[in-house]
Amino acid sequence: MTDDQPGSARAENELRTLLHRAVATVEPDPTALGRIRHAVPRRRARRRNAWTGAVAATLLAAAAVPALHAVRPFDLSGGTTAGSTDAHGADRTPRATRGSTGGPRTAPLPAHPDARPTPSTGTSGSAVATDPGSSTASAPVSVPACLRTDLGRGTAHVDPADSAGSTYGFFTVRNTSARSCGVTGPGIVAATAGGPADQTRIKVVDHIAGDAATALPAPGPVALPMVLRPGEGYRVRFGWVPEGACPSSAPRAAVAAPEAPATPAAGSGPVVPAAATTDPSPSPTPTADPPSVTVAHTPVGGDPTAASTVITGSCGGTVYRTAPEAVPAESATATATPGKS
Amino acid sequence: MIEAVPVVSLPVRRSAASRMGSAAAADATGASVDQLTETYQAHYRSLLRLAALLLDDLSSCEDVVQEAFIRVHAARRRVREPEKTLAYLRQTVVNLSRSTLRRRILGLRVLPKPMPDMASAEEGAYDALERDQLRTALRGLQRRQREVLVLRYYADLTEAQVAEVLGVSVGSVKAYGSRGLAALRVLMEGSHD
């Protein structure tokens, strides 16, 4: 740089050259266009649904606020607050407005007359006094929101990779508590790179119609909170669509997680379920770590992870996840299956 | 997305129509994706480099520029004016870069990954040194000064255009520019010793 002529054309030109030279080696990430292309329709959908979402949020709030109130007496075991809960709409007259909002997926509320009173009825007083008249038609009445500790028995199921190399599977999480509760959010699906896989090339996105995860069901309306009776659960499906090649040294495996021993987890599918609580303890393979991606689900409420699974053979790609869908109780726990879409 | 539907010929969808359903959205997507590719090829690299001068770690730059593309292309009204797309993109990149820096100052972001040292064989050691000096010096400038210099001399905007992007007066642009140049020179000379 020159020592004189401040602001001169020469200095400006020099700066121009310097600036261009300074970033001449900066090159786009090759996956950038793909990411943008995936994200744009999603963002549009979000904009489009902005006001629909506002309505949904209002409904959610309407359902969740009493639910939150209902949780409090559970924590504080205070009789006074329990009293206030009743004032919040745990009445036996379902509100007319609620009736009209009944999403297809919201499970029928505990308002069933069958002989299965939840032991915690006393504490979660909001669990709706039995009212045979309203029964299943009444939509989200107040049940307490599911605490993280209410949800468990997480399992993961993965199908073998399809011809296109994509891998599909799902996580199932159940209400392991003795009371009904409402799942208030979709939870988190996270993907972590293992071996030579590249974390920066791994994305998790919501599944939308027309995206690359063609085997996932088209997303429908999501009705949260989703009420789970004891034993009932929800399922979050995912599809792993690998993208790009591995660094040449990385070994490629053709099938999903061939080396991980199938843990005899409850209700597991045929292929490699690995409940997070049980240590998957992958048997050491003679070669170096194969590239792998660990896909894990954490329910709303945060850690710990409910279930995870390892997909090997690719170094980057996208996890497409769906919203939770209801899963009936496994065994003879329930006589009536919930309204499953 | 290979079918090259001319964007202009699409029936114009006003914002009200965007609520009408996904079918309408679906057919518009094909065309705009084409346009997206075009815009990407034309501007992504230079915008990434612009961000690289405003920020100091490459992954933030990618994030910022990708987000800018997503925002601008998600708003159909904006992509319907192709001549303005670059301006929208640039503006968004500058704004997002600012908020990225702000977040970092607030400590909400973990330590940024340093820009990878891409000094290659064909690039002399001197060039690499000079490049690093410039980056360090740019970082030493006030944010406004840096923005003005980068927009003015890297993106080659006029003073009026810079003023518009930054939302300040032309007079301020002149002032930031000249002070920025002077400060930069001092910083560069300081690092020579």
Q: Are residues B14 and B83 in the same domain?
A: yes
Q: Which domain holds residue B170?
A: 123-193
Q: Are residues B107 and B70 in the same domain?
A: yes
Read off the pLDDT of residues A285-301 as tens digits, 9 standing for 90 and up: 445 677 888 888 888 87
Q: Are residues B105 and B187 in the same domain?
A: no
Minimum distance, in Å, between the CA of residue A43 and any CA atom of chain B: 6
Nearest CA in chain A to B128: A22
Q: Are residues B86 and B158 in the same domain?
A: no
Q: Are residues B133 and B166 in the same domain?
A: yes
Amino acid at A330: E
Q: Are residues B76 and B17 in the same domain?
A: yes
Digitized pLDDT (tens) for each residue of chain B, 193 residues in all: 444 444 433 343 434 333 333 434 444 444 455 788 888 989 999 999 999 999 877 788 899 999 999 999 888 777 677 788 899 999 999 999 988 887 765 554 444 444 554 444 444 566 666 777 888 888 889 999 999 999 999 999 999 999 999 999 999 999 999 999 999 888 888 765 5
Report yes or no on B64 lying in a domain: yes
The domain boundary residue, chosen from B113, B136, B170: B113
The domain boundary residue, chosen from B90, B113, B136: B113
ipTM for this model: 0.73
Q: Are residues B102 and B23 in the same domain?
A: yes
| Token output for A26 | 């900066």
- Can you tell me whether residue A81 is helix, strand or coil? helix
Q: Are residues B20 and B108 in the same domain?
A: yes
Of B44, B135, B153, the CB nearest to A32: B44
Q: Are residues B93 and B149 in the same domain?
A: no
CA torsion angle A81 A85 A87 A92 (round to 10): -140
Q: Into how many domains does chain B fold?
A: 2
Q: Are residues B177 and B101 in the same domain?
A: no
Domain boundaries of chain A, sorted by first residue: 50-137, 148-327
B127 interface with A at CB cutoff 8 Å: yes
Backbone angles phi, psi at A145, to 5 degrees: -65, 145
Handedness of CA B8, B13, B15, B21 (dihedral sign): negative
By 3-state DSSP, what share of chain A in percent is helix, strand and coil, each rounded to 5? 25, 20, 55
Contacts of B184 in chain A (CB under 8 A): 15
Report yes or no on B118 lying in a domain: no
Contact at CB, A22 and B135, closer than 8 angstroms: yes
B142's CB contacts (< 8 A; 6+ apart) are B176, B180, B183
Minimum distance, in Å, between the CA of residue B167 and any CA atom of chain A: 23
